[in-house]
A and B are shown apart, each in its own frame.
Chain A
């Protein structure tokens, strides 16, 4: 067991967790932040992407115990005062989601892309999102949404 203190979506949290607790399990099962999804067990699908200290990572491949002192942002934490993040707004406007299962990871990855590259090209967006699998949309409206968000941010 490890005692960890971290900040999740702006809230300070201290918990004792078994050492093998994955961050995805910690968020979903212990904090009930079920917006972070788990779609595979090989770190391939990207449905579980969250931000740790501002950078996107796959939460199914990180131990909670290793993240003591980190700042974590999940899909539940990016809307401000009830107003959706421009990336969320753009996904809605351009139908960048269908079943919604891959969406949280997709949005969190896309936000990180714009932190690194303010005006990405279509190719750069598609390359960046290569680690996020969507089975519904054929990616076209996701790419359009990321471009739309880039124009607004």
Chain B
């Protein structure tokens, strides 16, 4: 049987999705269902003086209205920060309470005040307008940069600061800087983004009074985590009385990793009124209340020698957490950011200092890349600037500082197991025709256009796992992954994974792995995920971890199946276990033609007795059945890396930036399905380019979200992109048996600096993201003016 790993297998999940048979949470309906509509704060910061529901309760169709007071009465717990970060002085981070429905203060526009439950959505919406909330409006804190010197939002949190974190050694950095020929400095803003999965968040909770069990359908990347949080922290129901199902989910990009107030409230309300409660966000609610991403203000410095050798790096960042500390909100600007801030380079000394602040804006959490795009943008724009100031070629300065020996102990945390950074950049330069750029630039100039080229070399730490490591760094959970491989008696196979697919193609990729391991045709393998009542506990999908951690768990469980299969086959074939070899789905007695297929062995495992022709094949000590579970915890993260090269053409008369050429060369180790991996790169690039050129979340001074619809928030469209040129290099990971590295976030990590370096190269001026036509036009005009004055 030919190996499926490495093949462009068409996706098993596509037919249902292409024919309208996908089943997303909004498609799920229950008999006797009610509809929830949330009353949200119209103010960024206010005291709630009174909530009057009397008029709304009389509105037609209203079943129930619940407020913050009910949350307090029922002792429903708050939403949590999942990662505990300590400040440089050793003190614990400061976290404000985050009740699912506010009772005394609201802290961002969209914050949850009450829920109206009615027979129809229209009735719920109409009644919500009649809920009268008396607010005392307070001055909102909106600016990331000024948050520490603004009004104090929470009584016990001075300077609005959650923590003041340090990674690295200030004294060593000072020494390095003292020896430098030149210090390159940069001030930048990593613009705030809104994830915008195309499927708006939704929840539908059904309570069964007979079993006292709640079944919650929800748009989650991680139903097991939703269940444990809603049980253990919100206290809505014990884990054994709460089933969470994340059916087809329409994209997540980080924004659906953890449960939000709405899921908690719908589950709690369903139990209270003993009827199903359905809620589906409209797009503006998504904009207002989905967690946002990025939002850093950074000052960074790079110490260099005149020959371009890097000596040291420092980074002072203010990270906006929004109004509350969300589940991954505190780890994103720290351990997911700081270690990668020195980039893909040998850097003798470095530190990252991050001050995380609260503001009256939506909570900020992980968004595709989570911390690593911010880190990569910082170092890669700084390196480009260093090349400019030293008069070096941007490729040359990178090559000079790449590590070439692996494993490579990176400055701040990671021991990088494998890589070939020189080979990656060389390949990218070849595909991009780097040498031919000057000629293309002249051609553009002859048409009155400014052409620019930008590089980005990155590495990132993903496949987020080693539980002992992440827990030592403050993570409140382990990050292993589970798999259960279950042979059904008739020989087909169900593989349960604790990870979750919401576009990544697990149904196919994971089936390819199991098919190769077990020698079972791929069409006889079903991948099951997304239901806490099916398969063991797992940690879900984010941080490009599903394949390296969850895929490996499948391999480990298959190993156990084969080990048992060998014992059973030995008994069936009257041979010694040591003589049994397994390949292509067959157990063969060495040097003979005696064999049993894995299907025959599975069938025999389920019939452990004598019945006519069938005789018990079970060796003594073995139990019937053929099903094995693995909980895999890797020894390290995985470290994908690569080099991207972007070419833009700017029209100085209009400021329009046209992306004319984009080359991405990535090293994801062993690739299971190139079709799927290329798709992941394309998607990541679109989001990274979106951040660089188009997307920006904007709050006004009073904390109103100005970009709260697709009329105002620029989503990248098909006509914004050229065809991307992809290339791959391969140094297999040593931390998992498949040799794979995460591929989901690379595009979003590498693209922003590659694009911005190209824009800045074209116009010759520093400019902030997104490089909109207006900003670029102004920068070009300023240059023109300066040049004419100089002349």
Contact = CB atoms under 8 A, between A and B. Distances in A.
Interface of A: 28, 33-42, 44-45, 47, 74-76, 79, 84, 88, 91-93, 95, 97-104, 107, 122-123, 125-127, 129-130, 132-143
Which of A41, A123, A130: most chain B CB closer than 10 A?
A: A41
Contact of B710 (A38, A122, A133): A133
B682 interface: yes
Nearest to B19: A79
A105 to B, nearest CB: 10
B15 A139 contact: no
B684 to A, nearest CB: 8
B202 to A, nearest CB: 11
Given A37-B199, A132-B718, A137 B11 contact: no
Given A42-B710, A95-B678, A95-B679, A126 B198 contact: no
Interface in B3-49: 10-11, 13-15, 17-24, 26-27
Interface stretch (B134-142, B618-626, B719-727): B719-727
B682 A92 contact: no
23 contacts: A35-B20, A37-B26, A37-B199, A39-B199, A40-B710, A41-B283, A44-B710, A92-B11, A98-B503, A99-B199, A99-B249, A99-B250, A99-B502, A126-B719, A129-B717, A129-B718, A135-B715, A137-B686, A138-B685, A139-B721, A140-B723, A142-B718, A143-B723
Contacts of B188: none
Contact of B721 (A36, A74, A140): A140
A136 B721 CA distance: 14
Contact of A41 (B24, B196, B284, B715): B284
Nearest to B248: A100
A42 B22 CA distance: 24
Given A95-B678, A100-B250, A103-B17, A138 B721 contact: yes
Given A102-B198, A140-B724, A97 B17 contact: yes
Given A40-B709, A98-B503, A88 B18 contact: yes
Contact of B718 (A39, A45, A79, A143): A143
B19 A76 contact: yes
B711 A138 contact: no
A95 B283 contact: no
Nearest to B286: A40
Interface of B: 10-11, 13-15, 17-24, 26-27, 196-200, 248-251, 253, 282-284, 502-505, 675-676, 678-679, 682-687, 709-711, 715, 717-719, 721, 723-724, 747
A150 to B, nearest CB: 16
B611 to A, nearest CB: 40
Contacts of B196: 135
A126 B717 CA distance: 8
Contact of A137 (B17, B248, B284, B682): B682
Contact of A98 (B10, B23, B251): B251
Given A74-B20, A84-B15, A140-B723, 17 more contacts: A35-B22, A37-B250, A38-B200, A39-B198, A40-B283, A41-B284, A44-B710, A44-B711, A45-B283, A76-B20, A97-B18, A99-B251, A100-B18, A101-B250, A126-B721, A132-B718, A142-B718
Contacts of B250: 37, 39, 99-102
Given A44-B710, A99-B502, A36 B717 contact: no
Contacts of A35: 19-22
Contacts of B504: 98
B83 to A, nearest CB: 26
A42 B198 contact: no
A141 B723 CA distance: 9
Interface class of chain B by DSSP: loop
B686 A91 contact: no
B18 A95 contact: no
A100 B503 contact: yes
Contacts of A123: 719
A132 B720 CA distance: 13
Given A92-B10, A130-B717, A107 B198 contact: no
Contacts of B709: 40-42, 44
A104 B15 contact: no
Contacts of A93: 10
Contacts of A138: 682-686, 721, 724, 747
B198 A101 contact: yes
A137 B684 CA distance: 8
A48 to B, nearest CB: 11
A137 to B, nearest CB: 6
B18 A42 contact: no
A-B residue pairs, 5 tightest by C-beta: A35-B20, A101-B250, A100-B17, A99-B503, A138-B682
A100 to B, nearest CB: 3
Nearest to A77: B20
Which of B13, B19, B197: most chain A CB closer than 10 A?
A: B19
Contacts of B684: 138
Contacts of B686: 135, 137-139
A123 B22 CA distance: 30
Nearest to B281: A41
B386 to A, nearest CB: 30
Given A42-B283, A143-B718, A136 B503 contact: yes
Nearest to B681: A138
Which of B24, B197, B198, B200: most chain A CB closer than 10 A?
A: B198
Given A99-B197, A99-B250, A127 B17 contact: no
A34 B717 contact: no
Contacts of A125: 718
